[in-house]
Amino acid sequence: MGEKIWIFDTTLRDGEQSPGFSMNVEEKLRMAAQLAKLNVDVIEAGFPISSEGDFEAVKAVAQNIKGPVICGLCRLLKIDIDRAWEALKYAQRARIHVLGCGSDIHLQYKLRTTREQMIQDSIEAVKHARSLCDDVEFSPEDATRADGDFLCQLLEAVIDAGATTVNIPDTVGYITPGEFGALIRTLRERVPNIHHARISVHCHNDLGLGVANMLAAIENGARQVEGTINGIGERAGNAALEELIMALKVRANYYGHYTDIVTEEIYKTSRLLGSITGIHVQPNKAIVGDNAFAHEAGIHQHGVLSNPITYEIMTPQSIGLPRNRIVLGKHSGRHAFAKRLEDLGYELTKDEINRAFSRFKDLADKKKEIFDEDLEAIVEEQLSSVADVFMLEYIHATTGNQTVPTATVRLRREDVVLQDAAIGDGPVDAAYQAIDRITGIPGRLIDYQIKAVTSGKDAIGEVHVKVQFNGDAASGKAASTDVIEASAKAYLNAVNKVAFRAKRGKQP
């Protein structure tokens, strides 16, 4: 049966730190709960010293998520390690991930230190981490561009100091599969105490080789892989874990190893990440893209109909792809609705279900077929809404090629109704100007994305915005069959976050 390959998920740390993918504490918690259902072995929940928000997120995940090992990243500094432990100490099983440096390029230009000093600092850091936690991972950043002799010395030193996992990061996505396999083999041959630690690899995708590199490393003795769901991450991203996992499963006859992943949770996990971040995968994305199991060409359809094995190397069911995508309609009851949300990975309270059900009924009056994507849009909007300071009561916008776009907006703040109108470059801009005038919290739109969540002219439009306010920034999202209303509500969602934070007198 081969050996177990540990799946280390860094969606909430390496994935989250790339532009456009940031998540707040509550969003990270929801994602972590789904990763636990997927049964990943390790969740790297953040970099606790990097911000208050990251610290709170790692702590919340450590306190609430049972099953996987919960991990936090830190540099070699004592203050980093202590801060990470402060957040991680609540976990059922915790791991401290200590980041050193492998390549001369990074030693010289980033850290301005020497190889000797790096070995000393790494030993001290690992020893300190081990004094707090039994499970310590060490990563020499940019290891794939490191000098081979130095890398061997460094790994030997940190394993002697107590590192239980040594991770070889291809930080800049530079290496190729043949070279990476050879590197892992060399480390196994030349680091005398290597059998005291698990060898891990961490691959970036700059040349599109992340998953291929991981597989080559596994063939040569790596037993942990680090990546992200949907391959999100810095630049071209990290290796996509769903691809690696399914490669090991589908080609078990070749690789001979296994993971403990519940692959039927893959689709749900990928969708949840897309709904939370507002960034969904492209249709032809391997494993989780909309077209990954679609057969368009007549000749393919004919083959699949006579026997799916002709063109399908894995079943849609193996990744948990729902077979029937049209789920509910106007006459569906609360029970079926709640069950469908549960199947989509949402754990909601009775009150949350009731509120979502009422929005679902409103939508069903406007739209004949309600798809999973519609339900996700409803629930995501509801879950992302903070205790609203301002509520949208009314919006009216006029636009046209011979008209100055104008919007009238009415908001409620507790018992007070506030109304104003503005002109703008377009109806969305006009609505945002009117909202700014009413709230007195002017914002600058940094990012605006709109997406039809399903096909059809009656599709829901989902809007994601990022807004910079004076001294604070927030993201917002909302969905509606009316895109101007969705745009206004998304903006207001961001306004409400900063207004709420200001009211609480706390920063994010």
Q: Which residues bind Zn ion (CB under 5 A)?
A: 14
Query: Nearest distance from residue 203's CB to ligand KIV, in Å?
Result: 9
139 is a site residue for ligand KIV (CB under 6 A): yes
The string over 72-103, giving b where at least 16 C-beta atoms fall within 10 Å of a residue's C-beta and e elsewhere, is bbbbbeeebbebbbbbbeebebbbbbbbbbbb
Map the footprint of ligand KIV across residues 223-262, applying CB under 6 A: none
Q: Measured between alpha carbons, how far apart are the two ends of the chain, in Å?
A: 48
Sign of the alpha-carbon dihedral angle for 318, 34, 242, 1: negative
Map the footprint of ligand KIV across residues 167-226, applying CB under 6 A: 167, 169, 171, 202, 204
Question: Could you tell me which stretch among 86-94, 165-173, 337-345, 394-402 binds ligand KIV (CB under 6 A)?
Answer: 165-173
The single residue among 99, 272, 430, 488 that binds ligand KIV, judged by CB under 6 A, is: 99
Alpha-carbon 356 to chain mean position: 24
The single residue among 16, 54, 141, 376 that binds ligand KIV, judged by CB under 6 A, is: 141
Q: How crowded is residue 160: how many other Cβ atoms within 10 Å of its Cβ?
A: 14
Residue 15 or 274 with smaller CB distance to ligand KIV:
15
DSSP H or E run through 167: strand 165-170
When CB distances are held under 5 to 8 angstroms depending on the partner's kind, the choice from Zn ion, ligand KIV, none that residue 99 binds is ligand KIV
Number of residues that bind ligand KIV (CB under 6 A): 10
Sequence-ordered strand ranges (E) for 233-389:
326-328, 370-371
9 is a site residue for ligand KIV (CB under 6 A): no
Residue 98 or 281 with smaller CB distance to ligand KIV:
98
Distance CA 97, CA 47 (A): 9
Distance CA 101, CA 117 (A): 11
Query: Nearest distance from residue 141's CB to Zn ion, in Å?
Result: 8
Distance CA 15, CA 11 (A): 4
Q: Are 261 and 225 in contact (CB under 8 A)?
A: no
When CB distances are held under 5 to 8 angstroms depending on the partner's kind, the choice from ligand KIV, Zn ion, none that residue 139 binds is ligand KIV
Query: Nearest distance from residue 150's CB to Zn ion, in Å?
Result: 20
Residue 141 or 372 with smaller CB distance to ligand KIV:
141
When CB distances are held under 5 to 8 angstroms depending on the partner's kind, the choice from ligand KIV, Zn ion, none that residue 485 binds is none
Q: Report the interface residues with ligand KIV, using CB under 6 A.
A: 14, 73, 99, 139, 141, 167, 169, 171, 202, 204
